[in-house]
């Protein structure tokens, strides 16, 4: 038996020897043990500290993409129901006095009873729609658009009703409804269906504009503007812009469209004496010569100011005693501020903010372009309209006659808003990792597990 020379080691299973590797030349052994919770939290804390406050806030807005979306579902459902309940309380408070003054024989609960009935129907429809399969909305997109166009055309017939210069209602007997509310929802779903199919061609200008802008959006905008309802036309324009932007249309087209739209809006104001009066009242240029033009906005500001921090108490508003026209509709936020104070208005603003964040998370976590575009369009409708209404009653914007979603009186508007929320709830229930391509969601043969 031969001895092994010093400084060498015997290879296992062989008689050959090899030089021993010095300890200092051996690679360091890396521990495979998982990091402790404390070390992970320390790493996250250092990473969060390196980010700026804007980045951290935006990460909070986006949420955790690994979650299944149930948090967003319940945030959307909870904030919507809370806003609807607040709206019912404020409609009861603000409409009771007007109902008695207009018809002494009528009940002070008539308008509240109608609003409550519409809210029950809307909540039921919302829950039913939230259970629809995702592909059903794509199939219903074109029929919904055609139906909304037909309803808007009926407004121009003797069935249409004109209120305060706006022809935006259908009346069949005692039943009245606003077809433009259905047009907002139909446009969001239809534009999403069209743009998601044309995703690969959206860089080409003809495919970006046809048929979403021409003729779809232009037809809806034109029919609403024929009825002289500029406020609803602005909301439909918001939905159209949001869907086109999320669909991937090039930004330079928005610049051209924005210039054309601004010129058209200025022209419509110049040719309408009523709109010019509202602009002058907003700027405070005709309050001395035409006090009636500034009356509604001025009384609304009085109501907000008299509410203070805590409000005068639910049902105790003074301005609702026929001082504010349309106290239960367009200017209901002023009655809310008077009765519930600044605290109540902040609660409403927070509920709208929660709704916006939750809808954004649903769109951000989903891989289906249809879901992203449709959710963005509905979000632009509800949150954008709320911004227009609150800006109008607080004096930041001129009076344009836009109701506050979920809160203002108006049965068909409330029902359609709840149905739109039902569409987003359906998206929140679907898989966040779903794709628009059905084949991509089908596991390949190599990834399928063979049966044992």
Cα gap 310→314, rounded to integer Å: 10
Residue 28 has pLDDT above 50, yes or no: no
Confidence of residue 26 (pLDDT cuts 50, 70, 90): very low
Nearest to 210 by CA among 161, 173, 244: 244
* pLDDT at 438 (0 to 100): 41
Residue 383 has pLDDT above 60, yes or no: yes
In a domain, 44, yes or no: no
In a domain, 58, yes or no: no
Over range 327-343, report the average pLDDT.
93
Q: Is 269 left (phi over 0), alpha (psi -120 to 50) or beta?
A: alpha
Cα gap 300→338, rounded to integer Å: 9
Residue 417 has pLDDT above 90, yes or no: yes
Residue 155 has pLDDT above 90, yes or no: yes
Residue 403 has pLDDT above 90, yes or no: yes
In a domain, 20, yes or no: no
* pLDDT at 65 (0 to 100): 58
Q: Which residues contact 302 (CB under 8 A, 6 or more apart)?
A: 319, 323
In a domain, 442, yes or no: no
Of 54-58, 328-332, 418-422, 426-430, the range with the highest mean pLDDT is 418-422
In a domain, 68, yes or no: no
* Assessment of whether the complete model's pTM goes beyond 0.75: yes
In a domain, 49, yes or no: no
3-class DSSP state of 83: helix
C-alpha separations of 299 from 2, 134, 305, 327, 385 in Å: 111, 47, 10, 10, 22
The answer to whether 320 touches 354, Cβ cutoff 8 Å, is no
Confidence of residue 166 (pLDDT cuts 50, 70, 90): confident
Over range 426-451, report the average pLDDT.
52
The answer to whether 378 touches 185, Cβ cutoff 8 Å, is yes
Element (H, E) at 17: strand 17-19
In a domain, 438, yes or no: no
In a domain, 215, yes or no: yes
* pLDDT at 452 (0 to 100): 37
Number of neighbours of residue 333 by Cβ within 10 angstroms: 25
In the chain, how many domains are there?
1
* pLDDT at 419 (0 to 100): 97
Structural domain of 315: 76-151+179-431
Which 8-state DSSP code applies to residue 201?
G
Residue 291: phi, psi to the nearest 5? -65, -25
């Amino acid at each position: 038996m031969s001895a092994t020379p010093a400084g060498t080691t015997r290879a296992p299973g062989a008689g050959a020897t090899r030089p021993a590797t010095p300890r200092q030349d051996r690679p360091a052994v890396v521990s495979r043990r998982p990091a402790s919770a404390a070390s992970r939290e320390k790493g996250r804390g250092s990473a969060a500290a390196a980010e700026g406050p804007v980045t951290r806030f935006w990460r909070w807005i986006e949420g955790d993409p690994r979650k299944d979306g149930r948090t967003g579902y319940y945030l959307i459902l909870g904030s919507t129901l809370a806003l609807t309940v607040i709206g019912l309380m404020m409609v009861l408070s603000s409409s009771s006095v007007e109902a008695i003054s207009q018809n002494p024989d009528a009940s002070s609960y008539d308008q509240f009873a109608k609003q409550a009935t519409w809210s029950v129907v809307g909540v039921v429809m919302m829950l039913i729609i939230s259970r629809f399969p995702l592909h059903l909305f794509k199939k219903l997109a074109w029929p919904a658009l055609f139906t909304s166009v037909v309803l808007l055309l009926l407004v121009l017939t003797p069935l249409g009703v004109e209120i305060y210069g706006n022809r935006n209602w259908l009346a069949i007997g005692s039943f009245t409804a606003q077809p433009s509310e259905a047009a907002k929802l139909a446009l969001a779903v239809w534009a999403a269906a069209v743009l998601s199919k044309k995703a690969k061609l959206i860089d080409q200008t003809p495919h970006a504009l046809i048929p979403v802008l021409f003729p779809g959006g232009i037809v809806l905008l034109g029919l609403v503007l024929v009825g002289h309802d500029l406020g609803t036309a602005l909301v439909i324009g918001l939905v159209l812009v949001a869907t086109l932007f999320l669909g991937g249309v090039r930004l330079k087209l928005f610049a051209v469209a924005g210039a054309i739209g601004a010129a058209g809006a200025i022209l419509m104001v110049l040719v309408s004496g009523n709109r010019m009066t509202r602009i002058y009242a907003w700027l405070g240029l005709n309050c001395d010569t035409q006090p009636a033009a500034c009356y509604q906005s001025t009384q609304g500001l009085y109501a907000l100011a008299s509410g203070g921090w805590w409000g005068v108490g639910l049902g105790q508003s003074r301005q609702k005693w026929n001082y504010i026209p349309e106290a239960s509709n367009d200017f209901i936020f002023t009655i809310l501020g008077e009765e519930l104070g600044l605290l109540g208005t902040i609660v409403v603003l927070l509920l709208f903010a929660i709704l916006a964040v939750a809808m954004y998370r649903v769109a951000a976590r989903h891989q289906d372009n249809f879901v992203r575009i449709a959710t963005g369009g509905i979000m632009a409708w509800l949150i954008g309209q709320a911004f227009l209404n609150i800006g109008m009653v607080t004096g930041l914007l001129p009076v344009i006659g836009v109701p506050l979603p979920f809160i203002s009186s108006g049965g068909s508007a409330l029902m359609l808003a709840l149905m739109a929320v039902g569409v987003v709830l359906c998206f929140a229930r679907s898989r966040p990792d779903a794709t628009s391509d059905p084949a991509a969601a089908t596991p390949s043969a190599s990834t399928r597990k063979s049966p044992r």
